[in-house]
A and B are shown apart, each in its own frame.
Chain A
C-alpha cells in the first residue's frame, strides 16, 4: 500500500461524525487543561487518559491528537498573556509573545501562534507521512558527538541574543548555566551545587526558572518603578493579524517547521533546542532586529511553529523505534499499550491501518485546533482588560500554582521567588534575561553530551570531530563565526544602520 492510499483510508476512519466529535472534545479539554498553570501536555494527556478507556482505538487516538495539540496550544496562551510558560517548549514564546501582549498586540500574537502551530503541525505530519522511516535512520546516526556539535551551533547562533553589551549578556548566560547545573548529574549520579539541600537534588526545572525570571521578575520590576506600572497593556483596536503581520509571519512559520521537525525527530529530542534556534534565526534574518525584545511577531511565529513541528517530529522515533523522546511521547507510548499496540519497527507492518488512522487523526486534530482557537482569541484577550493591579496579582497566583504543580513542593515556590529576585537584580543591572534561559537549557546538555561523547570514544578528543556528520556541524559552526564579519567588511561601502535603542 502506498503512503497516500493508506492515508486516504485513514481519513475514512478518522472522519466519521463520532470520531470528529471525540476530536473536538479532546481539543477543548486539552486547551482547557493546557491553559492551567504548571500542567504541560504530558500531564494533560496522562490526566485525560482514563477518559478514553471506554473508546475504540480510533476514537481514542483522535481524542489524544486533540488533547495533545490542545494542551500544547494552551501552554502558549499562558506564555503570551501572563508570561508564565507552562512547560519548557513555550519558554521562548514568552520572550516576544508577552511583550506583544503588553503593547496591546495580544490578539496578533495568539493568532500567529495558532496559525503557525497549524501550519507547522500539518507540514510536520505530512513529513511524518512520507519520510518517517528515512528520518528514523538519520536520527539514529545522531550520537553524542553530533549533539555536542549541534549545541555548539545553537550557542553560536544565539550569540546575537546576548544584546549590545556582550559582557552583561555573558553574565546572564553563565548565571543560567550555573542554575541549570544544579542537581544530580545524569551521567555519574553525583549531586552538583546542591549544598546538602535535598530539594535541589532534582535540579531547577527550566519551567520554574522561566516563571521566576519572567512572571515574578517582571512583576517585581513593575512594582519597583511606579512609572512602568502605568504603561501596562493598552489593548489595540484591531485584534486580528494585519497584512503586515501576515507578511512577517509566513516565512518564520516555514523556517520554524524546517528547524523543528528534524530536531524533534532526534532521540534525545525536546523542544528547547528547536525553539531557541528558530528564535535566533528569526532575529538574525529579521529586517526589524531592533524590535526583538520589544514584541517582534517573528519571534512568536517561528518558535511556535518550531515547537509544533518538533512535536510531530517526536512521533518519528516513537512510531518507528518505539522510542519516546519526550514526556508526552512516553505517555502516548503507554496509551498505545493500553490498546494492545506495540510501537516499534514492526508497527507499520503489523498495524498499518492504525498508523494511517493515527496520522489522519493528527491532521484532523490540527484543523480542529485552529477552528476552536481562532474564535477563542477574542475571548482570551479580554483577560488583559483586567486592571493592572489585579492582573499582576493574578499572574503571581498563577505563577505560584504553576511552580507548585511541577513537583507539588513548597521548595519550587521558594525557588521561583528567589529566581524572580535574581531576574529583578539582573534587569536592574542592565543584563538581558533571554541568555539566562539559553544557559539553563543548553549548558547542562552541552556538559552531558561532551562527557558522554568522550566516554563512548574512551577519552579520545578526536572522537568529537572524526565522524562526518559531527565534523560538518562543527564546520558550519566555524563558518557562522567567521563569515559575518568578513561579509560585513565586504560591504563596507554601505553604511550599517545603527540599531535603535
Chain B
C-alpha cells in the first residue's frame, strides 16, 4: 500500500510539473541558488525546497540558478531584482564572503537582509593512503623545510579550501604566498588528483572525501572544526598543535528593503523547516552539521566572518608573488599572447585584402543589407535592455518581427500576430511547464 501511495504521489508531482503548479501567492517562495546545478549552494537550495514542500505541499517553492563568479553575480541580481520582496531567499556562505573580496564586487552581504545560518561542512586535511606523511606533524615538518615541494589540492582559488591552506601556513610560520596551492574546480576533481598522487595533500569539505576515507584510499590528518568529528579517526587542528579552526558554513539571506516584521516572518518560516524531520534526514544524508542561527546573533556572526576573511585576504594579497624556481606562465601570459597574435593576424589579413589578390571574399553588403542587419541587432539590444521593464513577450515579439522583416517579409501585421503567438507560447511553457518564469511586464519596478 505505501508503494502505491508513493506512486500516486509521484504521478501527482509529475503532473504538477508538466501542467504547471497552481499558484497560491500567500505562501510562495523563490530560493535563488547563486551557482550552477549540482554544487553545494544548489544542493542546499533544493534540499530547502524539498523540506518546504514536504511541510506544506500547497505552497509553490521555486529554485532559480544564477551561477557565476563565486556567487557574486547571483548576489548582484538578487539585490537589484528582488528588492523588497518578502518571499525570496538567497543561499550564501563563506565562499561568497571571500568571493566578494576577490572579485571586488560592488554589492556585498551588507546589502541584504540576514535571515539565518543553516549548515556547516567540516574541512579536513588528507593525504593519499600511500603517502609517507603519517601525521599532521610529518606534513608540517616537510612543509616547513621546503614549502614549494608540498602541493595542496583543493577547490577554487580564494575559496574555503584555499583560505584554510594559507591560514595553516601562516599558523605554522610559512609565508602564505609560498603555499603551492593547486586549484581544481571543486573538491571532487582534487580528489582524483590526490588518488593519482599528483598533489601531496588535499584540503576540502569532509563530504567530498568521506567515501574515499571510508574505503581506506585516503588518510585524514586533521579536521579544521573546533571538535572532533564522530566516526573519523583524526585530531582537530588545535589538538595537533595548530591554533586554527574554519568551517564552510552556508546560510540564507533575504532581499534588501524588508521591514523587521517581514524579516522575522521569513526567519520563522525557515526555523520551522529547519526543525522538520525532512531537514534532519537531509543533514544525516549529506553529512552537513546543523549550525542554525538567526536573529541578532546571526547578524553579528556575519559581520565577524566578513572582517576575518577580509583581513586574511588582504594579508595574502600584500605578499602575493610567484615563488617558483624557474620562469612559468602567469594568469596574464596567455591573454597577452592571444591578443598580440590576433591583432597580428588581423593586420596581415587586412594587408592581403588591400593587395586585392583574394577573390574568394564575398561581395560587399548592399545598402539594404546594412539596414536589415541593423534592424536585427537593434531589436536584439532593445530586447536585452527593455525586457525587465516591458516583459518578455512584447520585446521578444520585436525581435521576431525584426528577424522576419530582415529575411524579406512584407506583411508586418501578420508578423506581429505570429510573433505574439510564438513568444506567448514560449513564456507559458517556461512559466507553467518549468516553473522558470520569463520576465513579466514591470518586473524591474516590482515593489
Contact = CB atoms under 8 A, between A and B. Distances in A.
B413 interface: no
A25 B10 CA distance: 11
Mostly, the B contact residues are helix
Interface in A336-372: 337-338, 340, 342-347
A383 to B, nearest CB: 12
B376 interface: yes
A171 B345 contact: yes
A188 B196 CA distance: 23
Given A223-B372, A393-B419, A456-B182, A48 B404 contact: no
A331 interface: yes
B152 to A, nearest CB: 10
B174 interface: no
A459 B322 CA distance: 10
B157 A394 contact: no
Contacts of A190: 331-332
Contacts of A220: 373, 376-377
Q: Which applies to chain A's interface (DSSP): helix, strand, loop or mixed? A: helix
Nearest to A199: B73
Given A333-B38, A388-B408, A454 B329 contact: yes
B331 A224 contact: no
Interface in A195-225: 198-199, 201-202, 216, 219-220, 222-225
B261 interface: no
A392 B403 contact: yes
Contact of A410 (B106, B162, B384): B384
B404 A390 contact: yes
B182 A452 contact: yes
A51 B13 contact: yes
A389 B404 contact: yes
A192 B10 contact: no
Interface string B273-292: 00000000000011000000
A168 interface: yes
Contact of B418 (A25, A139, A178, A390): A390
Contacts of A225: 362, 365-366, 369
A273 interface: no
Contacts of A222: 406-407
B185 A198 contact: no
Interface stretch (A4-12, A111-119, A153-161, A316-324): A316-324
Contacts of B3: 56
A140 B285 CA distance: 27
Interface stretch (A90-98, A251-259, A304-312, A423-431): A423-431
Contacts of B338: 174, 177-178, 181, 443
Interface string A399-423: 0110011011111011011001100
A15 interface: no
Given A198-B106, A216-B380, A223-B376, A51 B17 contact: yes
Interface string B23-54: 00000000000001111001100100110010
A481 interface: no
Interface stretch (A36-44, A121-129, A236-244, A489-497): A36-44
Contact of B10 (A46, A55, A267, A327): A55
Given A192-B335, A451-B328, A394 B400 contact: yes
B211 A330 contact: no
Contacts of A447: 329, 334
A187 interface: yes
Contacts of A268: 185, 189, 192
Contact of B409 (A144, A389, A458): A389
Interface string A161-197: 0000101101100110110010111111111110000
A340 B375 CA distance: 54
A346 B215 CA distance: 6
B210 A392 contact: no
Given A188-B331, A219-B376, A334-B38, A50 B49 contact: yes
A246 interface: no
Given A51-B10, A171-B345, A397-B426, A459 B326 contact: yes
B429 interface: yes
B66 interface: yes
A229 interface: yes
A460 interface: yes
B423 interface: yes
Given A224-B369, A429-B349, A455-B182, A337 B286 contact: yes
Nearest to B198: A143
A224 B365 CA distance: 6
A3 to B, nearest CB: 20
8 smallest CB-CB distances across A and B, nearest first, come from A330-B38, A344-B211, A459-B324, A202-B68, A54-B9, A189-B157, A267-B192, A393-B403
Given A55-B10, A175-B342, A452-B182, 9 more contacts: A36-B434, A177-B338, A178-B342, A198-B105, A222-B406, A226-B369, A323-B191, A330-B37, A407-B68
29 contacts: A18-B7, A22-B10, A25-B14, A39-B434, A46-B63, A46-B65, A144-B198, A185-B157, A192-B331, A224-B366, A225-B365, A229-B408, A321-B211, A324-B188, A330-B39, A340-B285, A344-B211, A345-B211, A347-B211, A392-B406, A396-B403, A410-B388, A413-B383, A413-B387, A417-B377, A451-B328, A452-B183, A458-B151, A458-B180
